Amino acid sequence: MSPIHGMRPPAPVEFPSTAGPLRPGAGGPSFKTIMAQTVEKVNGLQKNAQATALRFLQGEPVEVHQVALEQQQASMAFDLLVEVRNKMVSAYQEVMRMPL
Amino acid sequence: MSLFQTLSVSASGMSAQSMRAQTITENLANAETTRTPDGGPYRRRDVVFETQSQSSPFSSVFQQELSPDAMGVAVAEVREDTRPPLLRYQPGHPHAGADGYVGYPHISPVEEMVDLMGASRGYQANVASFNAAKDMVQKSIDLMR
Amino acid sequence: MLGPLGEQAARYLDLLSVRQRLVGANLANLDTPGYQTKDIDFQFEFLSAANSAQPNVIEPGGLVVKNDGNNVSLHRETRLLAENALRFNVATTLLKGEMRMVRRAIGDGRNG
């Protein structure tokens, strides 16, 4: 009798954290680097989700819930990224509006 | 084993139980039949089940994936009763032999009815598991909405 | 516009509709003497690149032939009906997800 394989638990999305007081020029990754890394991670999640969905359509023995979970993960990560970007843009705009 | 293969397995169960019910019904209808086209009284028929690997209609016809996990059921054969017929002394019967005995099939209606209930329960159980598999897949799809 | 997954999902839906139509015809002819079950070779049609061409209708083998020459199996067709509907749902939901993603990208480009 073949062993029952459990589902892979969904991998948590880790956004790199920069805990600690902000010190100008104190080293550590710049925001640009963090954003780039996060975009890469989200892109990776989306590519995985697409690949799994395609394999399901092609008739390979992929479970529907696997497809569903990966799609949702990728979607949530993407939405989170977009929100973060929007917040950054509006913060920038607010700073630009400040009278000198 | 994919949930879709469960659908195949349940469907094969339904098919098998349905054929079993059909055979039992034939037995019941012919419980007192003394003459068949082959000559001689009706012989009781019984189905023999065996496991059968299920293939999915969604895999390519030229590469049927016979997964060892998806074992459904198939009717291997319909076996006839080979015992000599039950003899009853009825000299006036049109099908009586020279000695006045008529041959009858070895069918007990009570036994057949109990067997029929078993086939019906088996069918319902397969329908229930079919619906359960369908619901589970639908719920997984709802995750994506 | 939709990307590879969207196009594949659309093609999947096309094939599923054809298959479902054939299942309907098979079920309608459950008792027709001499009727042979009709189907399409789903995986082959899906994986082959031919896009808008109509898939070939084949007659699957291995089916029990009844006394009147009809070989439609009620259980096979019912099972296909259920699986087609489920796979249809999966494909439409995937397509919706793709469209939402594209729309999100367009919308945020406008608002950003």
Per residue in A43-87, pLDDT (tens digit) is 999 999 999 999 888 888 888 999 999 999 998 998 888 888 889
* Interface touch C101/A78, C-beta < 8 Å: yes
What torsion, rounded to 10 degrees, do the Cα atoms B93, B107, C64, B61 define? -170
Per-residue pLDDT, B56: 74
Selected for mutation to probe chain B from A62, A64, A71 (highest B CB count within 10 Å) is: A64
Q: Work out the pLDDT band at C23, boundaries 50, 70, 90.
A: very high
Q: Which H/E stretch holds residue B79? A: strand B71-80
CA distance C31 to chain A (A): 32
In C, minimum Cα distance to B137 occurs at C86
* Interface touch A57/C43, C-beta < 8 Å: no
Contact of A6 with chain B, judged by CB distance below 8 Å, is answered with no
Rounded Cα distance between C13 and B19, Å, is: 34
Task: Identify the DSSP state of B39.
Answer: S
Q: Which H/E stretch holds residue B103? A: strand B101-104
Contact C103, C14 (CB under 8 A): no
Rounded Cα distance between C17 and C89, Å, is: 12
Rounded Cα distance between B133 and B13, Å, is: 14
Mean pLDDT confidence for B71-91: 91
Contact C41, B57 (CB under 8 A): no
Is residue B82 over pLDDT 70?
yes
| Residues across chain A | 100
Residue B72: CB atoms within 10 A of its CB come to 21
CA distance B132 to chain A (A): 15
Nearest to C82 among B7, B59, B141 (CB): B7
Contact C23, C77 (CB under 8 A): yes
* Interface touch B60/C86, C-beta < 8 Å: no
**Every domain of chain C and the residues it spans:** 3-111
Rounded Cα distance between A24 and A17, Å, is: 17
* Residue C65 CB contacts under 8 Å (≥ 6 apart), including other chains: C71
DSSP H helix total and E strand total for chain C: 3, 2
Using a CB-CB cut-off of 8 Å, the residues of chain B touching C39 are 57
Which amino acid, residue B112? E
Give the whole-number percent of chain C exceeding pLDDT 70: 91
Is residue B62 over pLDDT 50?
no
Using a CB-CB cut-off of 8 Å, the residues of chain B touching C74 are 18
Is residue B70 over pLDDT 80?
no
SS3 C71: coil
* Interface touch C82/B10, C-beta < 8 Å: no
Residues of chain A with a CB closer than 8 angstroms to some CB in chain C: 50, 53-54, 56-59, 64, 67, 71, 75, 78-79, 82, 85-86, 89
Task: Read off the tokens for B63.
Answer: 């590469």
* Radius of gyration from C-alpha coordinates of chain C: 19
* Interface touch B137/A64, C-beta < 8 Å: yes
Give the whole-number percent of chain C exceeding pLDDT 90: 41
Per-residue pLDDT, C49: 64
Residue B87, by phi and psi: left (phi above 0), alpha (psi -120 to 50) or beta?
beta
Mean pLDDT confidence for B118-130: 96
Taking only the tens place, the pLDDT of each residue in B88-104 is: 999 888 888 888 999 99
Q: What is the mean pLDDT of chain C?
A: 85
Is residue B142 over pLDDT 80?
yes
Nearest to C108 among A64, A67, A82 (CB): A82
In B, minimum Cα distance to A73 occurs at B144
Task: Read off the tokens for B33.
Answer: 């039949």
Contact A69, B143 (CB under 8 A): yes
Task: Read off the tokens for B49.
Answer: 């089940």
* Interface touch A56/C90, C-beta < 8 Å: yes
Which of C29, C37, C34, C30 has the alpha carbon at shortest distance from C69?
C34
Which of C25, C12, C24 has the alpha carbon at shortest distance from C87?
C12
Using a CB-CB cut-off of 8 Å, the residues of chain A touching B56 are 59
Backbone phi, then psi, for B28, in 5-degree steps?
-65, -45
Rounded Cα distance between C58 and C71, Å, is: 14
Taking only the tens place, the pLDDT of each residue in B1-28 is: 578 888 989 999 999 999 999 999 999 9
b/e map C43-81, b = 16+ CB within 10 Å: bbbbeeeeeeeebeeeebeeeeeeeeebbbbebbbbbbb
Is residue C18 over pLDDT 60?
yes
Which of C77, C26, C44, C37 has the alpha carbon at shortest distance from C59?
C37
In B, minimum Cα distance to C47 occurs at B60
Rounded Cα distance between A50 and A55, Å, is: 9
| Residues across chain C | 112
Using a CB-CB cut-off of 8 Å, the residues of chain C touching A76 are none
* Interface touch B11/C60, C-beta < 8 Å: no
Contact of A65 with chain B, judged by CB distance below 8 Å, is answered with yes
